[in-house]
Amino acid sequence: MWGFLESFLFIFLKELNAPTYMLGLTMTVAGLASMPFNWWSDAITRKIGHVNVLIMAFFGYAVRYVGYSLIKVPWLCFPFELLEVVTVHLMWNSAATYTAQLAPPGLLATMTGLSGMLHYNAGHGLGSFVGGYLMASYGMEFTYRVIGVASGVAGILYAVVYYCCLHGHIKRREKAEGAAVEETLPTGTSTATLTTIVQSEDGARLESTKL
């Protein structure tokens, strides 16, 4: 989704006779709007949940793509550009921190690099190729609508797979890990503060967690 939009949005806007300065303005507006959300992304992710942010990003792309396909005046793209707050910035912050949670010990840097490669390299290239083929064969409006619908369907499938298949397994694993840690504590320390090692790219940092 992101790769196609990055490659062909400006072409789409030029087809609508957008002035050249407006192309750069779209990125400026989206970037400025995203700054406070980047600052508070950790709090937002903790409140909503990593997976829910990713699901919101899928639906955000669906709204963006379908919305772009309907506009006839280039200036109407700005409301959809503001959704980049969710589809790019909050999404990637959530994906990066979620990767850190799921990465096996010693593989944090590898998993972070892998997720970045899949999104920024493989995903970008595949989205540009498929989107370019569809545009050449069926036109811009059709392509934007098809990718918008595909984004919504992907969001629904991801939500169903996670909440129906993976959520319970993850909760059971977290409960088992918590129980294993509690068994290692001396008797009478159920309300004590545990110190857990959380890997980071800079090494290891300490994080306190209440039982």
Question: What is the CATH number for 11?
Answer: 1.20.1250.20
In the prediction, which pLDDT does 179 show? 62
Q: Residue 86 belongs to what domain range?
A: 2-173
What is the predicted pLDDT for the residue at 183? 63
Strand partners, 203: 200
Residues in the chain predicted with pLDDT less than 70, given as ranges, are: 1, 173-174, 176-211
From CA 181, how far away is CA 183, in angstroms rounded? 5
pLDDT at 191: 43
Residue 185 lies in a domain: no
Give pLDDT, residue 208.
40
Whether residue 113 lies inside any domain: the answer is yes
Give the burial class of 148: count Cβ atoms within 10 A of its Cβ; 0-12 exposed, 13-18 middle, 19 or more buried: buried
Residue 30 included in any domain? yes
How much is the pTM? 0.78
The domain tally of the chain equals 1
Q: Which amino acid is it at 91?
A: M
What is residue 155's predicted lDDT score, i.e. its pLDDT? 94
In a domain, residue 202? The reply is no
67's tokens: 């919305």
Say how far apart CA 79 and CA 36 lie, in whole Å.
Answer: 17
Q: Can you tell me which residue has the tokens 């209440």?
A: 210
| Angle ∠(18,24,26) on CA atoms, nearest 5 | 75
